[in-house]
Chains A and B, each alone.
Chain A
Amino acid sequence: MRHWSAWIISLSLLSSPAFSALRFGLGQAVAKRGAEVINKAGAGDPANATGYAVVATLPSCSAGAIYDSLPTDLSRIRAIEPLGHVAPSPHTFPSDHVYFYVSTGTVDATPAYAPGAIHIIDIASTEYLDASPVFTDYAIYFYACKDVKTYYAHIRTLSPSVQSQQASAQVCSVYSTGGRSYRRCDSSVNISLQSGDLIGYSAISGAFDFGSYDYRISPPDFAAPARHTHSDQYYTVCPIDYFMPGPKAAMEALLGRFDGGYHRSVAPVCGQYNHDVAGTARGFWYHPGSPNVPEDPHLGLMINNVYAPQETISIGTSLPNQTPVFYTYVPNNSGFVDRALNQVTPDGHIYCYDTFYDPIGQLSGGPTFILQLLDSTTLRFESQPAGSCGTGPWAFTSNAVEFER
């Protein structure tokens, strides 16, 4: 026994902690060391690196524009919708990308081009499992330099060149949102394209997404940063801001309502992703007990991305007497009716909202909503029958739901 224990203790003393670690299970130890070897292989093999290993090989981004050509043929685009679009319940919260709406008269698919010399590092295919017939579209993630990631989504077909370079190894998952199921598969690639090279085509009608994350910025003040599990969203920026003056001005002229019938002129003209104002009702609100993602059960209270400074109430699936919907109204700076959301504080008052506009700016009917900020992180909200708020007082019923930051 004495020999045995002496042997063990000697081993522990001779082993240098700088080179060793305690692992639970040999499988975990091999996985950890295997990941290190594979990272090392990628770092020493830039010509064959794929996916995010490519990013480390790229130069830092310059302070100015990084893209020099248009991302699409703007003659086929009727409008670019700013950041912050909502479409509950799958998009109860504001979007972190802009939308390029294809002109209704277009009979051909609309192209998506490389806006600069770029490296595509990930191609994600999404299969719409509940559609009839089932179809697939693509998201393409790329970098021109290592600090700014940009992407297209809802690209219906890939160019033959890009398609042929798609990797066979894919990481797939199935998820549901908005009551529908999707299968997403990511493939890590390294496809170099020159400015203006064709990436793919959107569908003949509808819209495609265009978004950017700039990892150099200081994230804005989210009321509950940990809720944003997709941490890229901390760094959401307007992709149009990263273009040379000519293409940038051409795209800014299209920012506004989806049909081109209303141009946004209120700064920031490209909209915003984060609407949180801590200690007030404005921003992201989460249904207790539900995961942060998907967004379906939550509540978004924000500035409208087209008609700013008008505000929008975006309701997911959690209200017992209300289907998912969003309503826009003109905020007031006083009183308790249609009060600006960043002026609603935990003051003990109930606020009522009753005069709503539809997406094309027409006065519309709808229910009334009442809300109260119980404290800085708890909001009570209820949908009540259509009508006027009147002068109050208002009272919650059993249909009220509490949300939290």
Chain B
Amino acid sequence: MRALFLIIVSLPLYLAAEEPQESSTLLPTLLNEQEKPSVKHLTLPDGPIVSRQRLSLGINFAGAQARWNFSTRWAMEGRYQQGQASSDYGDVKAQVFGLRFYRFIHPERRLPLYWGSEMAYVTAKPESSAYKANGVAMGVFAGMQVHLTRRIFMDMDLGPYVISLTETHTHASATTLDFVLNTALVAKVF
């Protein structure tokens, strides 16, 4: 698993080393064609961003999310996810209500990288029992964006999450560490 983790982490690092190409959507709005060849390592100012890039809505595995970009480098996201697993008491259905913060690195590049943190309130309940577990999940993640069109992109990230759950009747509890791979298909709304 550690090897898989290193491969997944290394891929965006390798891709991030590429030079920005002409199809970048942000650069042409800020540079004219004469200036472009002389700019080797442009760093965007951490200021207001262009229109149509503040609010993004998306679907993730398995749920939905809404993201607000404060700037080209910072964003906040609310997300809802579901999951299912079998237990001695029938299938357990989990719900996750999460809040994510993003920091983007080189947003001008073709495959922008990002990292961030997430905190979530989580619940898990089997279908055929009164048992119910509540708790929190906290984690950090790193990943990359793949632009499919000007306004639609895919997020993929991976990171360690601590999940802490307590069953409400018996107070049985567990705190565990999992590496979580997240994917989302996102559209910029405005």
Q: Are A37 and B9 in contact (CB under 8 A)?
A: no
Q: Are A5 and B172 in contact (CB under 8 A)?
A: no
Mark interface residues in A49-78 (1 if CB within 8 Å of B CB, else 0).
011110010000000000000000000000
Chain B's closest residue to A14 (CB) is: B160
Is A395 at the interface (CB under 8 A from chain B)?
no
Mark interface residues in B158-176 (1 if CB within 8 Å of A CB, else 0).
0011010111011011101
Q: Within 8 Å CB of B179, what residues of A?
A: 15, 20-23
Interface of B is mostly: strand
Q: Within 8 Å CB of A36, what residues of B?
A: 87, 174, 176
Q: Are A27 and B13 in contact (CB under 8 A)?
A: no
Interface of A is mostly: helix
Chain A's closest residue to B82 (CB) is: A27
Tally chain B residues at the interface, Cβ within 8 Å: 67
Give chain B interface residues in 1-45, CB to chain A under 8 Å: 1-2, 4-6, 9, 13, 16
Q: Which of B98, B105, B178 has the most CB of A within 10 A?
A: B178
What is the size category of the interface that chain A forms with chain B?
35 or more
Is A289 at the interface (CB under 8 A from chain B)?
no
Contact of B85 among A1, A9, A32, A53 (CB under 8 A): A32
CA distance A38 to B96 in the complex (A): 17
- Of B49-57, B70-78, B124-132, the stretch lying at the interface with chain A is B124-132
Asked whether A188 and B2 contact (CB < 8 A) given A33-B174, A38-B131, the answer is no
Q: Are B86 and A4 in contact (CB under 8 A)?
A: no
Q: Are B61 and A27 in contact (CB under 8 A)?
A: yes
Is B90 at the interface (CB under 8 A from chain A)?
yes
Q: Are A25 and B182 in contact (CB under 8 A)?
A: yes
CA distance A186 to B85 in the complex (A): 18
Q: Are A30 and B137 in contact (CB under 8 A)?
A: yes
Q: Are B124 and A38 in contact (CB under 8 A)?
A: yes
Q: Are A22 and B178 in contact (CB under 8 A)?
A: yes
- Of A140-148, A167-175, A313-321, the stretch lying at the interface with chain B is A167-175
Is B146 at the interface (CB under 8 A from chain A)?
no
Asked whether A50 and B181 contact (CB < 8 A) given A12-B2, A33-B163, the answer is no
Q: Within 8 Å CB of A11, what residues of B?
A: 140, 160
Q: Within 8 Å CB of B89, what residues of A?
A: 38-39, 42, 50-53, 188
Minimum CB–CB distance for B59 against chain A, Å: 12
Is B107 at the interface (CB under 8 A from chain A)?
no
Q: Are B120 and A22 in contact (CB under 8 A)?
A: no
Q: Within 8 Å CB of A169, what residues of B?
A: 127-130
Give chain A interface residues in 330-368, CB to chain B under 8 Å: none
Contact of A31 among B94, B161, B166 (CB under 8 A): B94
Q: Are A27 and B81 in contact (CB under 8 A)?
A: yes
Q: Within 8 Å CB of B128, what residues of A?
A: 50-51, 167, 169-171, 186-188
Q: Are A9 and B87 in contact (CB under 8 A)?
A: no
Minimum CB–CB distance for B116 against chain A, Å: 12
Q: Are B84 and A8 in contact (CB under 8 A)?
A: no
Is A28 at the interface (CB under 8 A from chain B)?
yes
Contact of B84 among A31, A33, A39 (CB under 8 A): A31
Q: Within 8 Å CB of A33, what residues of B?
A: 124, 163, 165, 174, 176, 178
Q: Are A26 and B81 in contact (CB under 8 A)?
A: yes
Chain A's closest residue to B179 (CB) is: A22
Excluding A1-B13, A25-B182, A30-B124, 11 further A-B contacts by CB distance (< 8 Å) are A5-B9, A12-B5, A23-B178, A25-B180, A33-B176, A35-B85, A37-B167, A37-B174, A38-B167, A45-B169, A188-B90
Can you list 26 A-B pairs with a CB-CB distance of less than 8 A?
A: A1-B105, A4-B142, A5-B9, A15-B160, A15-B179, A20-B177, A23-B178, A24-B181, A25-B61, A26-B118, A27-B81, A28-B61, A28-B85, A30-B163, A30-B165, A31-B83, A31-B94, A32-B178, A34-B122, A34-B165, A38-B88, A41-B133, A48-B169, A169-B127, A169-B130, A187-B128
- 5 closest A-B pairs (Cβ-Cβ)? A34-B124, A27-B83, A31-B83, A27-B81, A31-B94
